[in-house]
Every structure is written in structure tokens, then in C-alpha cells.
């Protein structure tokens, strides 16, 4: 554990968490080798990670992997939401979007009988 001064009289503790490499073996070959990295988190975050690890039975690197992926997805979809809001705010652009979607709506069945049913092996039911 390291600590460093952040302003006069205040001290923030920091914990190093080492992310261990993941190694997969296929026959005699080693695949998917990841390098070891250290991530600096404050003590409170480290305690939360330890508690989650104990609670779930997952390693801290697994928990961090999942958290980072969920955060990445959250940021991605927030961007998508902003982009759609901007598109909807422009009446002409939104109208073009709706028209394009309507074109695709016409292709969904491609002339197939909507009442036609298929068996699991791919034959048409009589």
C-alpha cells in the first residue's frame, strides 16, 4: 500500500491490485496470454472489491473485468441515446430515418405466408 499527500494535511491511501495473466492451453500451445498489470485503487474501493470477491467467489480481476465491460457498455449506450436525441431534434433528419425504417419494414416477410409454420427439422407443416 502507498499513500501520498493531496493538499495540506490530507492523505489518500492507494492500493495496488495486480491483474494476473490469463493463460489458455490448447495441446502443447499456450494461447491468450495477457500481460500482468497493476491498477491503483483507493483503500475503500479495494475493500469493496474484496467483499465482492468473498460474496461471489470470483477473483478481483474477474470482478474488475465485468465492471469495466459494464461501464464500457453504459458509456456506449449513453452515446447512442445522445445521437438518437440529436437525430430526433432535427425534423428533416428524423423524417429520413423513419422513411428508411419503413423501407425495411416492407422486406421483413419477403412475400412469405405469415401463417406458414415450420418443423424443427426445416419442413413446412401441413
Condensed to tens digits (0 to 9), the pLDDT of residues 15-54 reads 666 555 555 555 666 565 566 778 889 999 999 999 999 9
Contact 4, 15 (CB under 8 A): no
Phi, psi values for residue 118, rounded to 5°: -120, 150
Q: Residue 90: inside a domain, yes or no?
A: yes
In this structure, is residue 46 part of a structural domain? yes
- Is-contact 22 31, C-beta < 8 A? no
Helices (H), 1-126: 43-56, 60-89, 91-105
Parallel, antiparallel or unpaired: strands 24-26 and 29-31: antiparallel
Q: Are 64 and 19 in contact (CB under 8 A)?
A: yes
Question: What global pTM score does this model have?
Answer: 0.56
Q: Whole domain around residue 61: which residue ranges? A: 2-105
Number of domains present in the structure of the chain: 1
What tens digit of pLDDT does each residue of 46-77 get?
999 999 999 999 999 999 999 999 999 999 99
Amino acid at each position: 500500500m502507498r499513500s501520498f499527500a493531496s493538499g495540506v494535511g490530507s492523505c489518500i491511501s492507494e492500493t495496488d491490485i495486480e491483474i494476473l495473466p490469463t493463460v489458455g492451453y490448447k495441446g502443447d500451445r499456450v494461447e491468450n496470454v495477457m500481460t500482468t498489470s497493476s491498477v491503483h485503487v483507493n483503500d475503500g474501493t479495494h475493500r469493496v472489491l474484496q467483499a465482492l470477491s468473498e460474496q461471489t467467489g470470483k477473483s478481483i480481476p474477474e470482478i474488475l473485468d465485468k465492471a469495466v465491460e459494464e461501464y464500457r457498455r453504459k458509456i456506449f449506450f449513453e452515446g447512442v441515446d445522445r445521437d438518437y436525441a440529436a437525430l430526433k431534434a432535427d425534423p428533416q433528419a428524423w423524417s429520413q430515418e423513419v422513411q428508411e425504417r419503413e423501407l425495411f419494414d416492407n422486406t421483413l416477410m419477403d412475400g412469405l405466408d405469415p401463417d406458414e409454420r415450420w418443423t424443427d427439422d426445416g419442413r413446412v407443416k401441413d
